[in-house]
A and B are shown apart, each in its own frame.
Chain A
């Protein structure tokens, strides 16, 4: 290990690994630090991702695919199930292996990786970020870097230390619990989304199937809901009503910063990627693919900045992200605010009228159209998603 690097990435999730890889591909020196013992573990994720989202970065491989998805089932509060077929839409991953493989692609590109390295401060030179302080096996250490990329996930403190406003408003934090349970009898190729005040007010409850009769089952609620009733009590209710005796293989808590991207995601010597930058799709809460996109853009730009010996080049990252996905997320956010505020009654009506459409004509577009009949003002926002 060296004592100074061109680029240090903090956090080895999907966003961090892509940042490290795309920077290293430019031939500059890169180190990625991860606080946990293992890259990829623990898994705090429903693990659903679109095929397009991952194949941009890694060749799909059965060893990290838990199930292939070609169906979506949306279940309204009265139990009406609206299903949409999608062809070969996506996967439920085995993220423990997936994240690990992503980190290996960064290593292959030349990035160094160190786990059990807990970053607990930044170094500054003339007000510009110039490295990190970290704890490694009980010892306090430090390393210099020309650029620090914060990929430290939902808890994201590195950006704050660099002076960016990164904390999440508690109302926008989707506070989640999830179990992976066995003996769950659902279709292996279908993602199930449940809506309604009793299951997941202001969000959705999910069942994402994994191989061998197991499934990821969970939900997220905003901190506003959590004030009165925690995600855990919603999950316990659902399980005792639906799968009272299922063996539980894992159980985790987690947070999704479900908002639009932060106003500023770069500053002198610092860039933020993934959950740390709030690069999550606010409608679905999915952040794997968008985090990888953010990470890849940031990594490439950071590498270019080093090669050109022009560190202010990193400030162009904000705009590039905004054009690639940030703008879209702003529209998704407005759609989310429209849809998730629907009453149980409205969800039931939408599901029923959607089901009256012949099965082969049901598309996501149709679903939105049906939802629109209930909330015409959403039309403009949805139209924009397809225009941009």
Chain B
């Protein structure tokens, strides 16, 4: 099961345990769809449009486009 992204399916995946919590992706996300705490990050699926801007802006390449869809945090 997929969590519901704005487009119906969340295709953006922040690779687990690889993020540096730098905020680049959050700063460019037009939908305010990324939650970033001191050492926790996740996409708020209901807001995400799968536009990919966060992927292009991640300096260390830890966000990926996953055409299969991304599982929910609680289910993963």
Contacts and interface: CB of A to CB of B under 8 A. Distances in A.
Interface of A: 35-37, 44, 116, 118, 120, 135, 153-157, 160, 167-170, 173, 175-177, 220, 223-224, 226-227, 230-233, 252-255, 257
Contacts of A44: 22
Interface in B47-65: 53, 56-61
Nearest to A165: B30
Given A35-B38, A37-B38, A167-B32, A177 B59 contact: yes
A200 B37 CA distance: 30
Contact of A254 (B30, B35, B59): B59
A253 B27 contact: no
A254 to B, nearest CB: 5
Nearest to A234: B59
Contacts of B38: 35-37, 116, 118
Interface of B: 20, 22-24, 26-30, 32, 35-38, 53, 56-61
Contacts of A116: 38
28 contacts: A36-B38, A44-B22, A120-B35, A135-B37, A154-B24, A154-B26, A154-B27, A155-B23, A155-B27, A167-B32, A168-B27, A168-B28, A170-B57, A175-B24, A177-B59, A223-B24, A230-B60, A231-B59, A231-B60, A232-B61, A233-B61, A252-B20, A253-B58, A253-B59, A254-B24, A254-B59, A255-B22, A255-B57
Given A157-B32, A169-B28, A223-B56, A255 B23 contact: yes
A232 B29 contact: no
B56 A160 contact: no
A173 B60 CA distance: 14
A163 to B, nearest CB: 12
A226 B56 contact: yes
Question: What secondary structure prevails in chain A residues at the interface with B?
Answer: mixed
Contacts of A120: 35
B62 to A, nearest CB: 9
Contacts of B36: 155
B20 to A, nearest CB: 4
B59 A226 contact: yes
B56 to A, nearest CB: 4
Given A35-B38, A223-B53, A254-B22, A167 B27 contact: yes
Contacts of B37: 35, 118, 135
A255 B60 CA distance: 11
A170 B56 contact: yes
Q: Which residue among A135, A173, A227, A233 has the maximum number of chain B CB atoms within 10 Å of its CB? A: A173
- From A36, A153, A176, A223, name the one whose CB has the most chain B CB atoms within 10 angstroms: A223
A170 B60 contact: no
A155 B60 CA distance: 16
B26 A155 contact: yes
A230 B30 contact: no
A135 to B, nearest CB: 8
A116 B40 CA distance: 13
